[in-house]
Chains A and B, each alone.
Chain A
Amino acid sequence: MTNISKEKLVVSAIENGTVIDHIPANKVLKVINILGLEAYEDEVLIGINLNSQKYGKKGIIKVRNKYFEQNDLNKIALVAPNATLIVIKNYEVIEKKCVEIPDTIEKIVKCINPNCITNQETIDTKFRVIEKNPLKIQCHYCEKTMTNIRFSE
Protein backbone atom coordinates (compact mmCIF):
# COMPACT_ATOMS: atom_id res chain seq x y z
CA MET A 1 0.00 0.00 0.00
CA THR A 2 1.42 3.40 -0.92
CA ASN A 3 1.66 6.34 1.45
CA ILE A 4 -1.07 8.11 -0.52
CA SER A 5 -3.57 5.35 -0.13
CA LYS A 6 -2.73 5.03 3.59
CA GLU A 7 -3.30 8.74 3.89
CA LYS A 8 -6.68 8.42 2.21
CA LEU A 9 -7.64 5.99 4.93
CA VAL A 10 -6.61 8.41 7.63
CA VAL A 11 -8.07 11.58 6.15
CA SER A 12 -10.90 10.75 3.81
CA ALA A 13 -11.34 12.26 0.37
CA ILE A 14 -13.55 15.28 -0.27
CA GLU A 15 -15.84 15.68 -3.26
CA ASN A 16 -15.28 19.42 -3.69
CA GLY A 17 -12.95 21.82 -1.96
CA THR A 18 -9.27 22.34 -1.20
CA VAL A 19 -6.60 20.09 0.18
CA ILE A 20 -3.68 21.84 1.84
CA ASP A 21 -0.84 19.35 1.90
CA HIS A 22 2.75 19.36 3.11
CA ILE A 23 2.14 21.59 6.09
CA PRO A 24 4.86 21.22 8.75
CA ALA A 25 3.29 18.84 11.29
CA ASN A 26 3.50 21.37 14.10
CA LYS A 27 1.94 24.18 12.05
CA VAL A 28 -1.42 22.62 11.19
CA LEU A 29 -3.33 24.32 13.97
CA LYS A 30 -1.64 27.61 13.09
CA VAL A 31 -2.78 27.27 9.47
CA ILE A 32 -6.33 26.56 10.69
CA ASN A 33 -6.10 29.66 12.80
CA ILE A 34 -4.65 31.89 10.05
CA LEU A 35 -7.31 30.83 7.59
CA GLY A 36 -10.06 31.31 10.17
CA LEU A 37 -11.22 27.74 9.68
CA GLU A 38 -12.33 27.40 13.31
CA ALA A 39 -15.38 29.38 12.25
CA TYR A 40 -15.92 27.51 8.98
CA GLU A 41 -19.23 25.74 9.03
CA ASP A 42 -18.64 22.93 6.55
CA GLU A 43 -16.38 19.93 7.10
CA VAL A 44 -12.68 20.43 7.82
CA LEU A 45 -10.59 17.26 8.01
CA ILE A 46 -7.24 17.41 9.70
CA GLY A 47 -4.27 15.05 9.74
CA ILE A 48 -1.21 15.67 11.87
CA ASN A 49 2.08 13.72 11.92
CA LEU A 50 1.33 11.80 8.73
CA ASN A 51 4.31 10.15 7.11
CA SER A 52 5.79 12.08 4.24
CA GLN A 53 8.50 10.82 1.93
CA LYS A 54 9.75 14.36 1.39
CA TYR A 55 9.48 15.87 4.85
CA GLY A 56 9.34 12.97 7.33
CA LYS A 57 6.24 14.12 9.18
CA LYS A 58 3.64 16.44 7.73
CA GLY A 59 0.20 17.82 8.27
CA ILE A 60 -2.77 17.98 5.92
CA ILE A 61 -6.03 19.89 5.95
CA LYS A 62 -9.00 19.16 3.72
CA VAL A 63 -11.65 21.82 3.52
CA ARG A 64 -14.91 20.84 1.95
CA ASN A 65 -16.54 23.29 -0.50
CA LYS A 66 -13.96 26.01 -0.03
CA TYR A 67 -11.60 27.58 -2.57
CA PHE A 68 -8.94 29.98 -1.44
CA GLU A 69 -7.94 33.37 -2.78
CA GLN A 70 -4.36 34.44 -3.48
CA ASN A 71 -4.31 36.44 -0.28
CA ASP A 72 -5.09 33.31 1.76
CA LEU A 73 -2.37 31.48 -0.11
CA ASN A 74 0.15 34.08 0.99
CA LYS A 75 -0.94 33.69 4.58
CA ILE A 76 -0.18 29.99 4.41
CA ALA A 77 3.21 30.55 2.83
CA LEU A 78 4.38 32.43 5.90
CA VAL A 79 4.03 29.39 8.22
CA ALA A 80 4.07 26.55 5.71
CA PRO A 81 6.39 27.60 2.88
CA ASN A 82 6.34 24.15 1.23
CA ALA A 83 2.58 23.66 1.38
CA THR A 84 0.72 22.56 -1.74
CA LEU A 85 -2.87 23.53 -2.41
CA ILE A 86 -4.89 21.03 -4.37
CA VAL A 87 -8.19 22.13 -5.82
CA ILE A 88 -10.69 19.25 -5.91
CA LYS A 89 -13.85 19.12 -7.99
CA ASN A 90 -15.94 15.91 -8.18
CA TYR A 91 -13.11 14.01 -6.43
CA GLU A 92 -10.75 15.03 -9.26
CA VAL A 93 -7.61 17.12 -8.86
CA ILE A 94 -8.29 20.21 -10.94
CA GLU A 95 -5.26 22.28 -9.99
CA LYS A 96 -2.17 22.09 -7.81
CA LYS A 97 -0.65 25.27 -6.53
CA CYS A 98 2.66 25.67 -4.76
CA VAL A 99 2.78 28.44 -2.24
CA GLU A 100 5.63 30.86 -2.22
CA ILE A 101 6.49 33.64 0.18
CA PRO A 102 5.68 36.78 -1.80
CA ASP A 103 8.01 39.78 -2.14
CA THR A 104 5.50 41.91 -0.29
CA ILE A 105 3.01 40.94 2.36
CA GLU A 106 -0.11 43.02 2.68
CA LYS A 107 -2.77 43.23 5.36
CA ILE A 108 -2.29 39.88 7.08
CA VAL A 109 0.70 40.68 9.28
CA LYS A 110 0.78 43.17 12.14
CA CYS A 111 3.79 45.41 12.75
CA ILE A 112 5.58 44.52 15.99
CA ASN A 113 6.54 48.14 16.60
CA PRO A 114 3.92 49.49 19.03
CA ASN A 115 4.77 53.03 17.92
CA CYS A 116 4.17 52.29 14.24
CA ILE A 117 1.41 54.40 12.69
CA THR A 118 -0.29 51.17 11.52
CA ASN A 119 -0.93 50.34 15.17
CA GLN A 120 -2.70 53.64 15.70
CA GLU A 121 -4.70 54.38 12.56
CA THR A 122 -6.81 51.97 10.55
CA ILE A 123 -4.25 51.23 7.84
CA ASP A 124 -3.68 48.08 5.81
CA THR A 125 -0.19 46.95 6.74
CA LYS A 126 2.44 46.34 4.10
CA PHE A 127 5.83 44.60 4.47
CA ARG A 128 8.77 44.06 2.16
CA VAL A 129 10.29 40.61 2.40
CA ILE A 130 14.04 41.08 2.91
CA GLU A 131 14.95 37.43 3.38
CA LYS A 132 12.78 34.41 2.75
CA ASN A 133 14.70 31.82 4.71
CA PRO A 134 14.80 32.57 7.59
CA LEU A 135 12.00 35.02 7.08
CA LYS A 136 12.88 38.67 7.66
CA ILE A 137 10.45 41.44 6.77
CA GLN A 138 10.47 45.22 6.89
CA CYS A 139 7.46 47.41 7.62
CA HIS A 140 6.74 49.68 4.65
CA TYR A 141 5.70 52.44 7.06
CA CYS A 142 7.96 52.48 10.13
CA GLU A 143 10.83 50.64 8.32
CA LYS A 144 11.40 48.34 11.29
CA THR A 145 12.72 44.92 10.35
CA MET A 146 11.38 41.85 12.11
CA THR A 147 11.80 38.10 12.19
CA ASN A 148 8.90 37.39 14.55
CA ILE A 149 5.71 37.37 12.54
CA ARG A 150 2.47 38.44 14.20
CA PHE A 151 -0.70 37.96 12.21
CA SER A 152 -3.44 40.56 12.20
CA GLU A 153 -6.52 39.59 14.15
Chain B
Amino acid sequence: MANLKDKNLISITDYSKEEYLEILKIAAEFEKNPKQEILKDKVVASIFFEPSTRTRLSFESAASMLGAKVIGFSNPAATSQSKGESLHDTIKMLSSYSDIIVMRHPREGAARYASEVASVPVINAGDGANQHPTQCMLDLYSILKTQGKLENLQITLVGDLKYGRTVHSLVQAMCNFNATFHLVSPNELKLPSSVKMHIKKANLEYHQYTDLNDVIPFSDIIYMTRIQRERFSDPLEYEKVKDSYILDAATLKGCKETMRILHPLPRVNEISVDVDKTPNAYYFEQARNGVYVRQALIAAILGIK
Protein backbone atom coordinates (compact mmCIF):
# COMPACT_ATOMS: atom_id res chain seq x y z
CA MET B 1 0.00 0.00 0.00
CA ALA B 2 1.33 3.42 -0.98
CA ASN B 3 2.18 5.66 1.95
CA LEU B 4 1.27 9.24 1.14
CA LYS B 5 1.89 10.75 4.56
CA ASP B 6 3.49 14.20 4.23
CA LYS B 7 3.74 13.86 0.47
CA ASN B 8 3.10 17.14 -1.35
CA LEU B 9 0.83 17.07 -4.39
CA ILE B 10 2.04 19.80 -6.72
CA SER B 11 2.11 18.20 -10.15
CA ILE B 12 0.29 15.13 -11.45
CA THR B 13 3.65 13.50 -12.13
CA ASP B 14 4.57 13.70 -8.41
CA TYR B 15 2.43 10.62 -7.76
CA SER B 16 2.92 7.14 -9.16
CA LYS B 17 0.22 4.94 -10.65
CA GLU B 18 0.00 3.03 -7.33
CA GLU B 19 -0.41 6.29 -5.47
CA TYR B 20 -3.25 7.46 -7.73
CA LEU B 21 -4.98 4.12 -7.23
CA GLU B 22 -4.57 4.38 -3.47
CA ILE B 23 -6.22 7.82 -3.48
CA LEU B 24 -9.07 6.55 -5.66
CA LYS B 25 -9.58 3.64 -3.28
CA ILE B 26 -9.78 5.92 -0.25
CA ALA B 27 -12.10 8.30 -2.17
CA ALA B 28 -14.49 5.40 -2.79
CA GLU B 29 -14.57 4.73 0.98
CA PHE B 30 -15.39 8.39 1.65
CA GLU B 31 -18.12 8.35 -0.97
CA LYS B 32 -19.87 5.64 1.03
CA ASN B 33 -19.39 7.51 4.28
CA PRO B 34 -18.38 11.13 3.67
CA LYS B 35 -19.00 12.48 7.16
CA GLN B 36 -16.41 11.13 9.56
CA GLU B 37 -14.83 13.16 12.34
CA ILE B 38 -11.37 11.76 11.73
CA LEU B 39 -9.57 15.11 11.39
CA LYS B 40 -11.02 16.73 14.50
CA ASP B 41 -7.68 17.95 15.81
CA LYS B 42 -6.37 19.09 12.42
CA VAL B 43 -6.22 22.53 10.85
CA VAL B 44 -6.38 22.89 7.07
CA ALA B 45 -5.17 26.21 5.62
CA SER B 46 -7.09 27.01 2.47
CA ILE B 47 -5.36 29.93 0.80
CA PHE B 48 -6.64 31.20 -2.51
CA PHE B 49 -4.67 34.03 -4.05
CA GLU B 50 -7.15 34.22 -6.91
CA PRO B 51 -10.87 33.62 -7.09
CA SER B 52 -12.17 30.09 -7.30
CA THR B 53 -15.60 28.81 -6.49
CA ARG B 54 -15.70 25.11 -7.19
CA THR B 55 -12.22 24.09 -6.12
CA ARG B 56 -12.15 26.16 -2.95
CA LEU B 57 -15.59 25.17 -1.73
CA SER B 58 -14.96 21.54 -2.60
CA PHE B 59 -11.74 21.50 -0.56
CA GLU B 60 -13.31 23.35 2.35
CA SER B 61 -16.33 21.10 2.27
CA ALA B 62 -14.08 18.02 2.16
CA ALA B 63 -12.09 19.19 5.19
CA SER B 64 -15.18 20.24 7.14
CA MET B 65 -16.93 16.90 6.56
CA LEU B 66 -13.94 15.20 8.17
CA GLY B 67 -14.15 17.50 11.18
CA ALA B 68 -11.05 19.59 10.41
CA LYS B 69 -10.92 23.32 11.16
CA VAL B 70 -10.47 25.38 8.01
CA ILE B 71 -8.57 28.67 8.11
CA GLY B 72 -7.46 30.84 5.22
CA PHE B 73 -8.63 33.39 2.72
CA SER B 74 -10.24 33.58 -0.68
CA ASN B 75 -9.34 37.15 -1.41
CA PRO B 76 -5.66 38.14 -1.20
CA ALA B 77 -6.65 41.82 -1.04
CA ALA B 78 -7.63 41.16 2.57
CA THR B 79 -4.22 39.70 3.51
CA SER B 80 -0.72 40.95 4.20
CA GLN B 81 0.19 40.01 0.62
CA SER B 82 -1.58 43.21 -0.37
CA LYS B 83 0.83 45.03 1.95
CA GLY B 84 3.70 43.61 -0.06
CA GLU B 85 4.48 40.50 1.99
CA SER B 86 6.30 37.85 -0.02
CA LEU B 87 4.78 34.45 -0.70
CA HIS B 88 7.75 33.02 1.20
CA ASP B 89 6.80 34.84 4.40
CA THR B 90 3.08 34.11 4.07
CA ILE B 91 3.77 30.39 3.70
CA LYS B 92 6.28 30.35 6.58
CA MET B 93 3.70 31.92 8.85
CA LEU B 94 0.89 29.61 7.73
CA SER B 95 3.05 26.56 8.29
CA SER B 96 3.01 27.25 11.97
CA TYR B 97 -0.77 27.73 12.05
CA SER B 98 -1.86 24.62 10.14
CA ASP B 99 -1.26 20.91 9.49
CA ILE B 100 -1.65 21.10 5.72
CA ILE B 101 -1.85 23.90 3.16
CA VAL B 102 -4.17 23.93 0.15
CA MET B 103 -3.12 26.72 -2.16
CA ARG B 104 -4.19 28.34 -5.41
CA HIS B 105 -2.00 31.06 -6.87
CA PRO B 106 -2.05 32.96 -10.17
CA ARG B 107 1.69 32.44 -10.77
CA GLU B 108 3.01 29.25 -12.29
CA GLY B 109 5.43 27.46 -9.97
CA ALA B 110 4.06 29.14 -6.83
CA ALA B 111 2.85 25.82 -5.39
CA ARG B 112 6.18 24.05 -5.90
CA TYR B 113 7.93 26.98 -4.25
CA ALA B 114 5.45 26.99 -1.36
CA SER B 115 6.09 23.27 -0.80
CA GLU B 116 9.80 23.99 -0.45
CA VAL B 117 9.23 26.80 2.04
CA ALA B 118 6.47 25.15 4.11
CA SER B 119 7.15 22.80 7.00
CA VAL B 120 3.76 21.15 6.42
CA PRO B 121 2.58 19.39 3.24
CA VAL B 122 1.12 21.44 0.40
CA ILE B 123 -1.64 20.52 -2.06
CA ASN B 124 -1.68 22.53 -5.27
CA ALA B 125 -5.19 23.75 -6.03
CA GLY B 126 -3.98 25.37 -9.26
CA ASP B 127 -0.88 27.42 -10.06
CA GLY B 128 -1.61 29.74 -12.97
CA ALA B 129 -1.73 27.89 -16.28
CA ASN B 130 0.54 25.13 -14.97
CA GLN B 131 -0.99 22.35 -12.87
CA HIS B 132 -4.28 21.48 -11.19
CA PRO B 133 -3.60 17.94 -10.01
CA THR B 134 -6.67 17.46 -7.83
CA GLN B 135 -8.90 18.12 -10.85
CA CYS B 136 -7.04 15.35 -12.62
CA MET B 137 -7.50 12.99 -9.66
CA LEU B 138 -11.24 13.61 -9.66
CA ASP B 139 -11.32 13.07 -13.42
CA LEU B 140 -9.62 9.70 -12.89
CA TYR B 141 -12.07 8.86 -10.15
CA SER B 142 -14.99 9.75 -12.42
CA ILE B 143 -13.61 7.62 -15.25
CA LEU B 144 -13.07 4.68 -12.91
CA LYS B 145 -16.53 5.01 -11.44
CA THR B 146 -18.35 5.26 -14.75
CA GLN B 147 -16.35 2.66 -16.68
CA GLY B 148 -15.51 0.28 -13.84
CA LYS B 149 -11.86 0.35 -14.89
CA LEU B 150 -9.11 2.72 -15.97
CA GLU B 151 -7.24 0.38 -18.33
CA ASN B 152 -7.67 0.14 -22.12
CA LEU B 153 -10.20 2.94 -22.61
CA GLN B 154 -10.95 5.10 -25.66
CA ILE B 155 -10.49 8.61 -24.26
CA THR B 156 -11.72 11.50 -26.40
CA LEU B 157 -10.65 15.04 -25.57
CA VAL B 158 -12.51 17.89 -27.24
CA GLY B 159 -12.02 21.64 -27.62
CA ASP B 160 -9.07 23.66 -26.46
CA LEU B 161 -6.39 21.02 -26.22
CA LYS B 162 -3.59 23.53 -26.52
CA TYR B 163 -4.07 25.63 -23.41
CA GLY B 164 -6.33 23.44 -21.26
CA ARG B 165 -4.22 22.37 -18.29
CA THR B 166 -6.81 19.79 -17.20
CA VAL B 167 -6.46 18.10 -20.60
CA HIS B 168 -2.66 17.99 -20.35
CA SER B 169 -2.74 16.47 -16.86
CA LEU B 170 -5.39 13.93 -17.81
CA VAL B 171 -3.38 12.77 -20.82
CA GLN B 172 -0.29 12.37 -18.62
CA ALA B 173 -2.21 10.42 -15.99
CA MET B 174 -4.06 8.19 -18.47
CA CYS B 175 -0.75 7.25 -20.09
CA ASN B 176 -0.40 4.93 -17.08
CA PHE B 177 -3.49 2.99 -18.10
CA ASN B 178 -2.99 2.00 -21.72
CA ALA B 179 -5.52 4.49 -23.05
CA THR B 180 -6.06 5.32 -26.72
CA PHE B 181 -6.45 9.06 -27.15
CA HIS B 182 -8.77 10.75 -29.65
CA LEU B 183 -7.98 14.43 -29.92
CA VAL B 184 -10.67 16.64 -31.40
CA SER B 185 -9.83 20.30 -31.85
CA PRO B 186 -9.49 23.09 -34.37
CA ASN B 187 -6.03 23.24 -35.91
CA GLU B 188 -5.15 26.31 -33.84
CA LEU B 189 -5.77 24.49 -30.58
CA LYS B 190 -4.15 21.09 -31.07
CA LEU B 191 -2.51 19.26 -28.20
CA PRO B 192 1.07 20.61 -27.78
CA SER B 193 3.88 18.33 -28.90
CA SER B 194 5.33 18.32 -25.36
CA VAL B 195 2.15 16.56 -24.18
CA LYS B 196 2.00 14.24 -27.19
CA MET B 197 5.51 13.25 -26.20
CA HIS B 198 4.13 11.57 -23.07
CA ILE B 199 1.81 9.47 -25.23
CA LYS B 200 4.65 8.47 -27.53
CA LYS B 201 6.92 7.64 -24.61
CA ALA B 202 4.25 5.36 -23.19
CA ASN B 203 3.98 3.66 -26.60
CA LEU B 204 0.31 4.52 -26.88
CA GLU B 205 -1.78 5.66 -29.81
CA TYR B 206 -3.39 9.01 -30.47
CA HIS B 207 -5.55 10.16 -33.36
CA GLN B 208 -6.37 13.74 -34.26
CA TYR B 209 -9.68 14.95 -35.65
CA THR B 210 -11.34 18.23 -36.44
CA ASP B 211 -14.88 16.80 -36.54
CA LEU B 212 -16.52 15.77 -33.29
CA ASN B 213 -18.96 13.45 -35.10
CA ASP B 214 -16.09 11.15 -36.11
CA VAL B 215 -15.42 10.01 -32.54
CA ILE B 216 -18.92 9.58 -31.12
CA PRO B 217 -19.44 5.87 -31.95
CA PHE B 218 -16.41 4.43 -30.18
CA SER B 219 -15.54 6.80 -27.31
CA ASP B 220 -15.75 5.54 -23.72
CA ILE B 221 -15.20 9.01 -22.31
CA ILE B 222 -15.75 12.37 -24.01
CA TYR B 223 -13.93 15.07 -22.09
CA MET B 224 -15.24 18.46 -23.21
CA THR B 225 -13.47 21.77 -22.75
CA ARG B 226 -14.39 25.29 -23.69
CA ILE B 227 -12.97 27.06 -26.72
CA GLN B 228 -12.23 30.63 -25.76
CA ARG B 229 -12.43 33.48 -28.22
CA GLU B 230 -9.28 35.11 -26.82
CA ARG B 231 -7.17 32.10 -27.87
CA PHE B 232 -7.58 33.01 -31.56
CA SER B 233 -5.38 35.58 -33.25
CA ASP B 234 -7.92 35.85 -36.06
CA PRO B 235 -11.51 36.44 -34.85
CA LEU B 236 -12.84 35.07 -38.15
CA GLU B 237 -11.19 31.74 -37.41
CA TYR B 238 -12.98 31.64 -34.07
CA GLU B 239 -16.32 32.37 -35.72
CA LYS B 240 -15.68 29.55 -38.18
CA VAL B 241 -15.02 26.86 -35.58
CA LYS B 242 -16.90 27.98 -32.49
CA ASP B 243 -20.00 25.92 -33.15
CA SER B 244 -18.22 22.80 -34.37
CA TYR B 245 -17.37 21.74 -30.88
CA ILE B 246 -20.75 22.01 -29.26
CA LEU B 247 -22.17 18.78 -27.98
CA ASP B 248 -25.93 18.45 -28.11
CA ALA B 249 -28.28 15.51 -27.64
CA ALA B 250 -28.57 14.97 -31.41
CA THR B 251 -24.77 14.68 -31.79
CA LEU B 252 -24.78 11.85 -29.28
CA LYS B 253 -26.81 9.57 -31.53
CA GLY B 254 -24.97 6.29 -32.05
CA CYS B 255 -22.69 6.64 -29.02
CA LYS B 256 -21.89 3.71 -26.72
CA GLU B 257 -24.47 3.28 -24.00
CA THR B 258 -21.72 3.32 -21.39
CA MET B 259 -20.07 6.46 -22.77
CA ARG B 260 -19.91 9.31 -20.27
CA ILE B 261 -19.32 13.01 -20.86
CA LEU B 262 -16.97 14.84 -18.51
CA HIS B 263 -16.23 18.55 -18.27
CA PRO B 264 -14.07 20.37 -15.72
CA LEU B 265 -16.75 23.13 -15.54
CA PRO B 266 -17.76 25.89 -15.71
CA ARG B 267 -19.32 25.26 -19.09
CA VAL B 268 -20.55 28.06 -21.27
CA ASN B 269 -22.25 26.69 -24.37
CA GLU B 270 -20.05 23.76 -25.38
CA ILE B 271 -22.52 21.26 -23.91
CA SER B 272 -26.15 22.08 -24.67
CA VAL B 273 -28.54 21.83 -21.76
CA ASP B 274 -30.45 19.10 -23.61
CA VAL B 275 -27.48 16.81 -22.94
CA ASP B 276 -27.96 17.21 -19.17
CA LYS B 277 -30.96 14.89 -19.26
CA THR B 278 -29.21 12.12 -21.19
CA PRO B 279 -27.71 9.15 -19.31
CA ASN B 280 -24.35 10.10 -20.81
CA ALA B 281 -24.07 13.40 -18.92
CA TYR B 282 -21.78 13.01 -15.93
CA TYR B 283 -20.26 16.47 -15.35
CA PHE B 284 -22.27 17.40 -12.28
CA GLU B 285 -21.55 14.07 -10.59
CA GLN B 286 -17.94 14.58 -11.62
CA ALA B 287 -17.85 17.86 -9.67
CA ARG B 288 -19.33 16.09 -6.64
CA ASN B 289 -16.63 13.43 -6.85
CA GLY B 290 -14.15 16.24 -6.24
CA VAL B 291 -15.18 16.33 -2.59
CA TYR B 292 -14.43 12.61 -2.00
CA VAL B 293 -11.13 12.76 -3.85
CA ARG B 294 -10.06 15.82 -1.86
CA GLN B 295 -11.12 14.14 1.38
CA ALA B 296 -8.95 11.19 0.38
CA LEU B 297 -5.99 13.42 -0.41
CA ILE B 298 -6.18 15.44 2.79
CA ALA B 299 -6.63 12.34 4.96
CA ALA B 300 -3.89 10.33 3.23
CA ILE B 301 -1.37 13.19 3.29
CA LEU B 302 -2.11 13.81 6.96
CA GLY B 303 -1.47 10.12 7.57
CA ILE B 304 -4.96 9.43 8.88
CA LYS B 305 -5.95 7.00 6.10
Which residue of chain B is the closest to A111 with respect to CB atoms? Answer: B109
Interface residues of chain A, those whose CB is within 8 Å of chain B, are 111, 113, 115-118, 120-123, 139-145
Taking a contact as CB atoms closer than 8 A, the residue among B88, B105, B131 that contacts A143 in the complex is B131
Contact check, A116 vs B194: say whether CB atoms are below 8 A apart: no
Contact check, A141 vs B113: say whether CB atoms are below 8 A apart: yes
Shortest C-beta distance, A107 to chain B (Å), equals: 15
Q: How far is the CA of A140 from the CA of B87 in the complex (A)?
A: 17
Shortest C-beta distance, A128 to chain B (Å), equals: 12
Shortest C-beta distance, A112 to chain B (Å), equals: 12
Q: A-side binding surface: helix, strand, loop or mixed?
A: loop
Q: How far is the CA of A116 from the CA of B112 in the complex (A)?
A: 11
Shortest C-beta distance, A142 to chain B (Å), equals: 3
Q: How far is the CA of A139 from the CA of B106 in the complex (A)?
A: 17
Residues of B within 8 A of A123 (CB): 113
Instruction: Known A-B contacts: A140-B112, A143-B130. Give 17 more (CB < 8 A).
Output: A115-B106, A115-B107, A116-B109, A117-B107, A117-B108, A117-B110, A117-B113, A118-B113, A120-B87, A121-B86, A121-B113, A122-B86, A140-B109, A141-B108, A141-B110, A141-B112, A142-B128
Shortest C-beta distance, A150 to chain B (Å), equals: 16
Interface residues of chain B, those whose CB is within 8 Å of chain A, are 11, 86-88, 105-110, 112-113, 127-131, 194
Residues of A within 8 A of B194 (CB): 145
Q: How far is the CA of A117 from the CA of B129 in the complex (A)?
A: 12
Residues of B within 8 A of A139 (CB): 109
Taking a contact as CB atoms closer than 8 A, the residue among A113, A121, A122 that contacts B108 in the complex is A113
Which residue of chain A is the closest to B110 with respect to CB atoms? Answer: A117
Shortest C-beta distance, B238 to chain A (Å), equals: 24
Q: How far is the CA of A118 from the CA of B128 in the complex (A)?
A: 13
Given contacts A140-B112, A141-B113, A145-B194, whether A120 and B131 have CB atoms under 8 Å apart is: no
Given contacts A115-B128, A115-B129, A117-B113, whether A143 and B108 have CB atoms under 8 Å apart is: yes
What are 29 A-B contacts defined by CB distance under 8 Å?
A111-B109, A115-B108, A115-B128, A116-B107, A116-B108, A116-B109, A117-B108, A117-B127, A118-B109, A118-B113, A120-B87, A121-B87, A121-B88, A121-B113, A123-B113, A140-B109, A141-B109, A141-B110, A141-B112, A141-B113, A142-B107, A142-B108, A142-B109, A142-B128, A143-B11, A143-B108, A143-B109, A143-B130, A144-B108
